[in-house]
Structure 1
Amino acid sequence: MLAAVLDEFGTPLDVREVPDPGVRDGEVVVDVLATCVLPYASEVFGGERRYPLETPVIPGLGGIARVVTTGPDATRLTPGDLVWCDATVRSRDDANTPDITLQGWSSRGDGGLRLSRHFHDGSFAERMSVPTECVYPLGDVDEADAARWSALGVYLVPYGGLLAADLRAGESLLVSGATGNFGSAAVAVGLAMGASRVVAVGRDRRVLDDLRVRLGDRVRTVALTGEAERDRSAMITAGGGPLDVVLDILPPAVDAGVVRTAAMTVREYGRVVLMGGVGMLGGADLALPYPWLMRNSVTVRGQWMYPREANGRLIELARAGLLDLDQDAVHTFPLGRTNDAIAHAASHGGPFTRTVLTPHDR
């Protein structure tokens, strides 16, 4: 089969013939139909993000596929099923705190790194092997829409954060970092979950205006000025008062002070979820005032990725039309143009813009 292989960080991916993955117990072999190329993929492959990814590796974060072969532990999947393959792989020997690897992408801690050596290669290939529990049937979705549905991986990340926040229908939500690829997805998912009002916060006024036009009157926007108290006041005003939930999904280069300003807009008993990359490349850590947290009973938690059940639930939100995948602008590339796709994703990382590899196109 053909696959795009990262042999060394800082070098282009090499599209070449590699052995087909064999089916093993506990795994499913699939033909990859479509897989998203994230805007920061070039930073991962260039080594800037310092991900614990061991080369050589076939990268790629899950995607839409057709089942080829199942192992003996699969009782409902059958060859030919159209499925979503989740890249979030968990170890099976600790139900409480499993180690996690993102197949073909990254991992958490020493245990996650060991896990990644078994579930090593990702979806930038014609075929891949996936843990059985990471394969989710899509039902009667048209295969012609596979590229559009491959964006599930983008929407799942903020969905995991909003589930962690226990966002409820009728509550208000503030998204810090709303003008990025994941942040704009968070705005859309918050609306799909029934938020009464979503305050979209960012620096790019043009993108913020587009979010309001695209997603409707429940979206309120705040363009950051860099003056903390002024920005905080504007966020609370846009929210109609202190917010129920704040989701931070800012990238690594942003100063932690921006996170602090947004976090301090929550009401008494409000919830703050941190999902971004702030601090991963150095810089000051996040500082929140102890008395304010304690006296207002504010919950602050981190969230990496999402629980397993998020996959099926998000698929149903999309199938029901509550999450509208048709709003995405999708640009497809065959596997042979993987490096072109990576460059395109880096320069087209705005809201609802998807760069997708379609490995079986020539």
Structure 2
Amino acid sequence: MRAVVFEQYGEPADVRHVPDPQPADHGVVVRVEATGLCRSDWHGWQGHDPDITLPHVPGHELAGVIEAVGPRVTGWRQGDRVTAPFVCACGSCPSCAAGDQQVCERQTQPGFTHWGSFAQYVALDHADVNLVAVPDGLSFATAASLGCRFATAFRAVVQQGRVAAGEWVAVHGCGGVGLSAVMIAAASGARVVAIDVSPKALDLARKFGAAHCVDAATVPDTAVAVRELTGGAHLSLDALGSPATCAASVNCLRRRGRHVQVGLLPSADGTTPVPMARAIGWELEILGSHGMAAHTYPPMLELVRAGVLRPDLLVTSTITLEETPAALAAMGTAGGSGVTVIEPWA
């Protein structure tokens, strides 16, 4: 098969022929029809993820058709249209038994723990726990965006963030996750403030329901700007992942507000300063959010089916495998605006 491969962190990847994957006894191989280019892939390419072994094929946000099925898989067959969360759970650890597959203790992640979906085929483990059926009316490009960014935003806003109609929600960073969060919060009846440095990203945030936009490139203190607009957000998300956006997200909250950290926060020593004095004095909640379990997809998919949520509108560009190495490298300097989808068979 053809795949995007890198052999050194931060060095240019290339497209080459590599062996086709084989399914584990409990897994499947999926023919990848669409896969998203996500900032998490850039973090992996930069060497920020300890699970990656070189050489490596990135990609974790995918949709396609089952090509091969392991002998212990009971719920799926060749030809089924599927997607999967980026966290593939084991199905048997205590966290999985509690229904919390998104924090599985023995999780695998395509594109991190093993070769991913920037390829024509990808192997997925424990298929009966992790696969999600893609409805016939849903395009593969749209379905691919659900596995990481949209599902991650849905859990962060609805399940972890407990958004309520009429609340103020601040979203820091309007890439794929952030724009998804804007759309989901607005559809939930919340009033959204979107914060980003990119005018294009803020224009998309307005399109998807943001009541106010804050240009972080021109505003000296975005937390102050959000508090002036809202009196303090009830819920705030750091969808980018940086010390500055994390602190701004906490500092923009009203008393007893809720901060949800979604964006990864790489640093040299593995720590990020968080304004904990404010968290204590104002009784703020500091929450993490890490993907979404496959069994919790149905309510989100029903909202997509009904047209309440439109993840298809988040897909702003489609590229080929040959264009992917350059697009991956550009994520380190270019601001995100929407979702870029790779079509490996194009």
With normalisation by structure 2, the TM-score equals 0.82
> Which one has the largest radius of gyration?
1
Q: Identity of aligned pairs, percent?
A: 26
**Alignment-derived partner of residue 186 in structure 1:** 181
User: How many residue pairs were aligned?
Assistant: 333
CA distance in 2, matches of 1:314, 1:62: 17
CA distance in 1, matches of 2:329, 2:280: 46
1:158 equivalent in alignment to 2:158: no
**Alignment-derived partner of residue 334 in structure 1:** 320
Residue deviations 1:308-350 (CA, integer Å, cap 9, x gap)? 4444443333222222133234433333444244356667653
- Whether contact under 8 Å (1:173, 1:195) holds in the other structure is no
Q: How does 1:110-121 map to 2 (within 5 A)?
A: 116=113, 120-121=114-115
1:223 equivalent in alignment to 2:215: yes
CA distance in 2, matches of 1:63, 1:204: 26
In structure 2, the CA distance between the partners of 1:33 and 1:261, relative to structure 1 (3 Å rule), is closer
1:298 equivalent in alignment to 2:288: no
Q: Secondary structure at the match of 2:180?
A: helix
- Whether contact under 8 Å (1:222, 1:238) holds in the other structure is no
- Whether contact under 8 Å (2:193, 2:213) holds in the other structure is yes
In structure 2, the CA distance between the partners of 1:207 and 1:67, relative to structure 1 (3 Å rule), is closer
Residue deviations 1:135-170 (CA, integer Å, cap 9, x gap)? 11012225xx32233222221222232221222344
- Whether contact under 8 Å (2:111, 2:117) holds in the other structure is no
Q: Secondary structure at the match of 1:200?
A: strand
Give the gaps of 5 or more residues in structure 1: 107-115
**Alignment-derived partner of residue 98 in structure 1:** 104
Q: Cα distance, 1:300 vs. partner? A: 1.5
1:273 equivalent in alignment to 2:260: yes
In structure 2, the CA distance between the partners of 1:284 and 1:72, relative to structure 1 (3 Å rule), is closer
The RMSD of aligned alpha carbons is 3.0
CA distance in 1, matches of 2:136, 2:32: 18
CA distance in 1, matches of 2:180, 2:141: 16
1:287 equivalent in alignment to 2:275: yes
Residue deviations 1:151-203 (CA, integer Å, cap 9, x gap)? 222212222322212223443311122x33322222122223x0320111234
**Alignment-derived partner of residue 9 in structure 1:** 9
CA distance in 2, matches of 1:122, 1:206: 30
Q: Secondary structure at the match of 1:184?
A: helix
In structure 2, the CA distance between the partners of 1:339 and 1:284, relative to structure 1 (3 Å rule), is closer
In structure 2, the CA distance between the partners of 1:25 and 1:44, relative to structure 1 (3 Å rule), is closer
Residue identity in the other structure for 2:208: L
In structure 2, the CA distance between the partners of 1:104 and 1:78, relative to structure 1 (3 Å rule), is closer
Q: Secondary structure at the match of 1:314?
A: helix
CA distance in 1, matches of 2:176, 2:109: 21
**Alignment-derived partner of residue 99 in structure 2:** none
In structure 2, the CA distance between the partners of 1:261 and 1:128, relative to structure 1 (3 Å rule), is closer
1:244 equivalent in alignment to 2:244: no
CA distance in 1, matches of 2:27, 2:49: 29
**Alignment-derived partner of residue 122 in structure 1:** 116
With normalisation by structure 1, the TM-score equals 0.79
Q: Secondary structure at the match of 2:59?
A: coil
- Whether contact under 8 Å (2:198, 2:335) holds in the other structure is no
Q: Secondary structure at the match of 1:90?
A: coil
